[in-house]
């Protein structure tokens, strides 16, 4: 056992062993670990089940079976992105896709990097993406890929850069290793892929590199003599030397040149490696002078073009020294295999980049990774902080000793022992190329002392005795100090390792969450459903196993946050994790579990006064957002007073808080949403007590709140007119104001506001015709507007419903199949059926109801906890009963009403929303009427008694009335005349 293991949690050590056995193909039993460690049985059962699930998910991912998100599964290339005509996809990273494109206005070929869609709604991801472009754009150097511009088009964030006809070094190294014969070893790239890359250009560059056809001395002189002004915007850059690139790689395409049997790594290859190092180090030194740290130097981020020029690219993790960092202090950022030891502790300097370049050159010399155990993260963390990789010459004796010395100095675990600057690194590589002594090989202090003793033997003898006494006198104190230092260093090492392991756990958590995350559809006061619909979010298609895995991962956060109570970062990360699980529980309709997760997140955030990271939302803003979600839960349960309090808490945090963050667009956007939500809760809170008399709602408080929301959003739109998100939010606020006025019986004013919402959304759809979210929002608003009178909107309801349907039919499959889209389509079909019923046009009602039933049945089956899907199915059966009753088919109508009651599921242990009780009461009234006509008096009396019981429950239940009730409803009662609440048909 390692001495430092005494500091480690025994369950963590057992967990690492368990995972290792799984990865080696064994099938270890959790029960055997429980039996062997009874004191930790509960923790082992909880943790190991999660570890096994994660390893199972990982294995599916590695085999290509991971369910792709809509962004990842779509193969369709965008035709245009602003001024750029897209030609083909040439690469994909964790957050962005790179396309080859033609800039039509200038007629030049460029590369376009586009932020993946599901990151577009993350302000932090957008800021990181823009910072990447800004960091690269401020660098004008012949070995750094030039950035031409940054922009946004149809919610797609992108930046255009120089197109380089080349390949990344990791692909070239794969090709070199696959074809060489002098050292038999398997090369695995940083992404985990094996060699054998079928890439003709990579192979041709590899041949030219091996045969020394890229003249390093000329390339180095070109770099050293260049300036920022010398950079060309040409898309086919060259280095000094023969102008015809065929001189470099033209012959490499022939069959015999591709045969490496006779080719060995030789002096030409070593010089090529050094020449690439000179170019890369020169580019790094320039970047450092401009105040930019790259922080992710590795073969995958260095490109070699078809002329031998090296290109530094991908500044996604770059840090601008003169601006705020984009990561929390102490964050572990970078690619683990190429991280410097100090990066594992969350620190990065210019020497961190030198370390990454040193490891890259090590890999080029040996054609194998310096640390080839990336899959064993904990072991790798310990290895990199205590030792260096094998000597390059122990792998291949042909490697020049000077090159080995240079590389080993660059990758020293201690930053103080590396080159002080990238310029010094470059100069030593250039000395090797020029065949002059390098500076890295210095005489050691011990060698200096030994030579001095030979020159002065007498003095040395006297000094030796004195030193011996001194050493003996200090030995005890030194021994004690070293022992304490060792213990302290071991503890710090384990702390760093734990931080890094938790970073990996956080990344896994986010990956799984993104897999199941979807966007929210529009919700408004004009919705014909009850208030419970307004608060619920759309539900992704995910399994209970997914949720169990996420809940299991929370144990990692809890244990780490408890052990590191003074770490703001992990308190914050834990809070975000609970919020994400709460969101999924909310989408599954599990209100109590969602509420518990949200409240736990708030408790954690309250313990964090502030964060220094400018890219993370302030804890106060996160709390405001979570209070908003708690209010949504209360709205879903028809608890309008509670909902109003939660929304008010959200607004107060921003309105009454301290700090400049309150004026940020994100905070103001959140404040506008809180005001809008407060208005909804206020209106619905009034609807219920006033429904017994039919008196109008006092709309003034809600109107003022919505006016504040609209004022904020209009200001945000004015400041950022290209932001579709702010315009979408503004349209929804206008729609909410229209719905509120509709409830207060101010039809003309209400329709004016809805018309404004429609106009805004129609502009968005016209401006961004391919943006599915805008099309869906407009379709939803059309469906709501169909409930208003034609005179107010100057459009027939059937026309609006048909327009809504057309907007959804042409949506991409990945959006059309999402639950919220299917729900809108189901409701449109149902609305059309209701219009036919009101007009006594029964010809195609059956078809429309069947379409609606097919969609809503699938949703109710997939998400049994979601009450509005239950209501949708019950409502469908109720309408079918009306159709059968109109046709005189009483037995069928009775059966449909029985099925309606079954779908209301009033026997459930969960809280029953008022709109389901209302639906059941109307169904019982219908059964009473039908059974009376059929002469079944006993069944009719039973239905009458059940209806009376339900009416009593309704007196204590909040049920808002519908904007427009179905007129041709034989069982609808005008209860206002009897002093009872009016019937509600959500």
Task: Write the burial class of residue 707 (CB in 10 Å: 0-12 exposed, 13-18 middle, 19+ buried).
Answer: middle
In sequence order, the 6+-apart residues with CB closer than 8 A to the CB of 627 are 602, 646, 647, 649, 650, 653
How many angstroms separate the CA atoms of 830 and 709, rounded? 32
In the block, which residue shows the tokens 């062993």? 17
Strand, coil or helix: 179: helix
Give the residue ranges of the annotated binding site for ATP: 113
Question: Apex CA 921: angle with CA 916 and CA 923, to 5°?
Answer: 95
For the chain, how many helices (H) and strands (E)?
Answer: 38, 11
Question: Apex CA 362: angle with CA 358 and CA 365, to 5°?
Answer: 140
Do residues 313 and 147 touch, judged by C-beta distance below 8 A?
no
How many angstroms separate the CA atoms of 590 and 551, rounded? 14
SS (H, E, C) 427-494: HHHHHHHCCCCCCCCCCCHHHHHHHHHHHCHHHHHHHHHHHHHHHHHHHHHHHHHHHHHHHHHHHHHH
How many angstroms separate the CA atoms of 113 and 25, rounded? 39
How many angstroms separate the CA atoms of 319 and 807, rounded? 44
Do residues 775 and 520 touch, judged by C-beta distance below 8 A?
no
Do residues 518 and 540 touch, judged by C-beta distance below 8 A?
yes
How many angstroms separate the CA atoms of 171 and 259, rounded? 18
Nearest to 460 by CA among 449, 471, 448: 449
In sequence order, the 6+-apart residues with CB closer than 8 A to the CB of 538 are 518, 519, 520, 521, 587, 818, 819, 820, 823
| 715 φ/ψ sector (left φ>0, alpha ψ -120 to 50, else beta) | alpha
How many angstroms separate the CA atoms of 342 and 349, rounded? 9
| 128 φ/ψ sector (left φ>0, alpha ψ -120 to 50, else beta) | alpha
In sequence order, the 6+-apart residues with CB closer than 8 A to the CB of 695 are none
Within its chain, how far is the Cα of 125 from the centroid?
A: 8
659-691 CB burial, b ≥16 within 10 A, e <16: eebbebbbbbbbbbbbbbbbbbbbbbbbbbebb
Specify the DSSP element, H or E, that contains 99: strand 96-103
Query: At residue 519, what are phi and psi to the nearest 5 degrees?
Result: -90, 155
Give the residue ranges of the annotated binding site: 113
Quick one: tokens of 519? 């966007």
In sequence order, the 6+-apart residues with CB closer than 8 A to the CB of 689 are none
- Residues facing 147 on adjacent strands: 161
Specify the DSSP element, H or E, that contains 694: none
Residue 544 Cα distances to 579, 584, 865, 910, angstroms: 18, 11, 12, 18
Do residues 81 and 153 touch, judged by C-beta distance below 8 A?
yes
Within its chain, how far is the Cα of 594 from the centroid?
A: 20
- Cβ neighbours, 10 Å, residue 469: 9
Would you tell me the crossing angle of helices 568-587 and 457-516 to the nearest 10 degrees?
A: 20
């Amino acid at each position: 056992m390692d001495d430092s293991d005494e500091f480690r949690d025994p369950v963590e050590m057992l967990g690492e062993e368990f995972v290792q056995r799984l990865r080696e193909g064994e099938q270890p039993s959790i029960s055997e670990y429980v039996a062997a460690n009874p004191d930790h049985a509960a923790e082992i059962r909880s943790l190991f089940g999660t570890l096994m699930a994660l390893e199972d998910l990982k294995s599916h991912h590695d085999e290509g079976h991971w369910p792709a998100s809509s962004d990842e599964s779509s193969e369709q290339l965008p035709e245009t992105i602003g001024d750029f005509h897209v030609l083909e996809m040439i690469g994909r990273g964790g957050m962005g896709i790179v396309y080859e494109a033609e800039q039509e206005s200038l007629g030049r070929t460029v590369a376009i990097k586009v932020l993946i869609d599901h990151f577009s709604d993350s302000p932090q991801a957008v800021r990181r993406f823009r910072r990447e472009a800004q960091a690269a754009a401020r660098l004008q150097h012949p070995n750094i890929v030039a950035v031409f511009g940054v922009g946004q088009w149809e919610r797609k964030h992108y930046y255009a850069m120089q197109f380089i006809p080349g390949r990344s070094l990791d692909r070239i190294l794969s090709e070199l290793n696959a074809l060489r014969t002098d050292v038999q070893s398997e090369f695995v790239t940083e992404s985990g892929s094996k060699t054998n890359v079928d890439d003709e250009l990579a192979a041709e560059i590899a041949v030219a590199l091996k045969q020394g056809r890229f003249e390093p001395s000329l390339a180095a002189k070109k770099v050293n003599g260049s300036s920022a002004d010398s950079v060309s915007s040409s898309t086919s850059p060259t280095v000094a030397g023969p102008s015809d690139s065929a001189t470099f790689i033209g012959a490499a395409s022939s069959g015999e040149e591709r045969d490496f049997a006779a080719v060995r790594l030789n002096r030409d290859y070593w010089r090529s490696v050094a020449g690439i190092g000179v170019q890369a180090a020169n580019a790094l030194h320039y970047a450092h002078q401009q105040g930019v740290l790259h922080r992710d130097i590795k073969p995958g981020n260095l490109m070699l073009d078809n002329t031998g020029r090296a290109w530094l690219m991908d500044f996604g993790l770059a840090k601008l020294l003169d601006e705020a960092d984009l990561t929390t202090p102490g964050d572990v950022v970078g690619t683990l295999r190429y991280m410097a030891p100090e990066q594992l502790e969350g620190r990065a300097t210019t020497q961190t980049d030198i370390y990454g370049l040193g490891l890259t050159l090590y890999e080029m010399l040996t054609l194998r990774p310096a640390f080839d155990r990336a899959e064993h993260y904990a072991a790798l963390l310990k290895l990199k902080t205590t030792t260096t990789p094998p000597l390059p010459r122990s792998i291949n004796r042909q490697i020049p000793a000077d090159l080995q010395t240079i590389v080993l100095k660059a990758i020293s675990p201690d930053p103080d022992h590396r080159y002080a600057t990238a310029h010094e690194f470059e100069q030593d590589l250039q000395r090797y190329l020029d065949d002059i002594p390098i500076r890295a090989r210095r005489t050691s202090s011990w060698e200096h002392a030994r030579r001095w003793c030979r020159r002065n033997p007498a003095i040395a003898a006297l000094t030796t005795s004195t030193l011996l006494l001194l050493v003996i006198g200090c030995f005890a104190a030194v021994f004690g100090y070293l022992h304490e230092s060792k213990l302290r260093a071991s503890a710090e090492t384990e702390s760093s390792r734990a931080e890094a392991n938790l970073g990996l756990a956080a990344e896994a958590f986010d990956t799984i969450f993104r897999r199941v995350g979807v966007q929210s559809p529009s919700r408004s006061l004009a919705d014909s459903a009850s208030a419970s619909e307004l608060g619920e979010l759309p539900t992704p298609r995910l399994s209970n196993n997914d949720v169990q895995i996420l809940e299991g991962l929370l144990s990692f956060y809890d244990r780490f946050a408890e052990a590191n109570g003074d770490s703001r970062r992990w308190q914050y990360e834990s809070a975000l994790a609970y919020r994400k699980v709460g969101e999924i529980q909310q989408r599954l309709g599990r209100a109590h579990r969602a509420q518990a997760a949200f409240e736990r997140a708030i408790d954690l955030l309250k313990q964090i006064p502030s964060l220094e990271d400018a890219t993370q939302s302030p804890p106060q803003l996160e709390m405001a957002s979570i209070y908003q979600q708690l209010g949504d839960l209360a709205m879903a349960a028809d608890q309008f007073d509670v909902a109003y309090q939660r929304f008010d808490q959200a607004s107060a945090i921003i309105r009454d808080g301290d700090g400049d963050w309150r004026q940020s667009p994100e905070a103001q956007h959140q404040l506008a949403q809180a005001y809008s939500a407060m208005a909804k809760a206020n209106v619905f809170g009034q609807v219920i007590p006033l429904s017994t008399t039919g008196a109008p709602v006092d709309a003034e408080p809600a109107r003022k709140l919505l006016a504040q929301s609209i004022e904020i959003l209009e200001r945000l739109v004015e400041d950022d007119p290209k932001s579709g998100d702010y315009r979408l939010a503004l349209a929804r606020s206008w729609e909410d104001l229209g719905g509120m006025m509709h409830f207060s019986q101010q039809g003309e004013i209400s329709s004016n506001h809805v018309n404004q919402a429609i106009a805004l959304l129609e502009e968005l759809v016209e401006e961004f015709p391919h943006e599915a979210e805008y099309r869906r929002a407009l379709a939803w608003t059309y469906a709501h507007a169909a409930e208003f009178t034609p005179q107010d909107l100057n459009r027939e309801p059937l026309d609006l419903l048909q327009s809504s349907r057309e907007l959804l039919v042409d949506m991409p499959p990945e959006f059309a199949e999402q639950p919220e889209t299917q729900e809108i389509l189901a409701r449109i079909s149902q609305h059309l059926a209701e219009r036919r019923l009101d007009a006594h046009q029964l010809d195609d009602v059956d078809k429309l109801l069947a379409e609606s039933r097919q969609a809503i049945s699938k949703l109710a089956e997939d998400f049994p906890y979601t009450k509005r899907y239950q209501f949708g199915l019950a409502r469908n059966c109720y309408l079918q009963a009306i159709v059968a009753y109109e046709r005189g088919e009483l037995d069928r109508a009775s059966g449909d009403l029985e099925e309606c009651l079954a779908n209301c599921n009033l026997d459930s242990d969960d809280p029953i929303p008022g709109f389901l009780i209302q639906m059941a009461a109307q169904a019982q009234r219908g059964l009473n009427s039908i059974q009376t006509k059929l002469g079944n008096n006993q069944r009719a009396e039973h239905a009458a008694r059940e209806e009376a019981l339900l009416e009593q429950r309704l007196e204590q239940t909040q049920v808002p009335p519908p904007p427009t009730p179905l007129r041709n409803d034989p069982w609808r009662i005008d209860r206002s005349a009897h002093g009872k609440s009016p019937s509600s048909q959500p």
